[in-house]
Amino acid sequence: MSTRVFVLRPEPGLSATMERGRAMGLSMEAMPLSAAEPVAWDIPPGSFDGMLLGSANGLRHAGERLADLGQMPVYAVGEATAEEARARGLPVAMIGSGGLQGLLDALPGDRPLSLLRLSGAEHLPVEAPPHVTIASATVYAIVHHPLGASNIDRLGEGGVVLLHSGGTARHFENECRRTGIDRSKLALATIGPRVARSVSDGWKSLRSASTPDDAALLSLADIMCH
């Protein structure tokens, strides 16, 4: 039997990862352990040159208040987030390829830039370059769910688990401990070293993708399966 690849991320990223993995011939198993839910938020005071987005969820769950920002240019962590912005009629100023910190580091330094970051309650800290100021607004929260009985049985048979965020990684490890799953049968593939540092040892293996994107993570999973 082919090695199973478990995908824990919520929709809509879940479907995209499943589709990419199946196209590569991987034995994909959807196992979402969380969902993004909107929270009440206010626009911070001040004027902004653009929106900084580390996830398309920042747009999906911003609600009616997003319209108050007008046609503000978007600085997107990746192409999927940029596509979400374009679908809403927002101009895309820049698309990153190495995570949100990589995007910030690549910003031109020819003028001061004030950005509004729309993020989740759990988000990675970033360091702004000297010419960039960032104000943050929390527009959604990730709600985690427990592992069901059928999921516990499937995980107990072993496989490769894809981890796209530190919050999901910590929750998954806690659920494995709570339910008594044998972690030595599970190999973890994380989207980056920061996510890998969110879990302890005791797994079959623990590796990080070469770049923080879904394609690199699936390529790593392919290697780990074979």
pLDDT in tens, 34-81: 999 999 999 999 999 999 999 999 999 999 999 999 999 999 998 889
108 preceded by a cis bond (ω within 30 of 0): no
What is the C-alpha end-to-end distance of the chain, expressed in Å? 12
Cβ atoms of 162 and 27 within 8 Å: the answer is no
Show pLDDT as tens, one digit a residue, over the chain (226 residues). Answer: 689 999 999 887 899 999 999 999 999 999 999 999 999 999 999 999 999 999 999 999 999 999 999 999 999 998 889 999 999 999 999 999 878 999 999 999 889 999 999 999 988 789 999 999 999 999 999 999 999 999 999 999 999 999 998 899 999 999 999 999 999 999 999 999 989 999 999 999 999 999 888 999 999 999 999 8
Beta strands in 82-191 (DSSP E): 92-95, 113-120, 132-144, 159-163, 186-190
**191 vs 10: CA distance, rounded Å:** 15
Kindly tell me the sign of the dihedral angle through the C-alpha atoms of 10, 37, 169, 59. Answer: positive
Q: Which of 189, 196, 204 is nearest to 17 (CA)?
A: 189
Q: Which of 9, 20, 28, 13 is nearest to 154 (CA)?
A: 28
- Give pLDDT, residue 116: 98
3-state secondary structure of 59: helix
Cβ atoms of 209 and 219 within 8 Å: the answer is yes
Cα–Cα separations (whole angstroms), residue 119 to 10, 39, 157: 16, 11, 36
**189 vs 212: CA distance, rounded Å:** 11
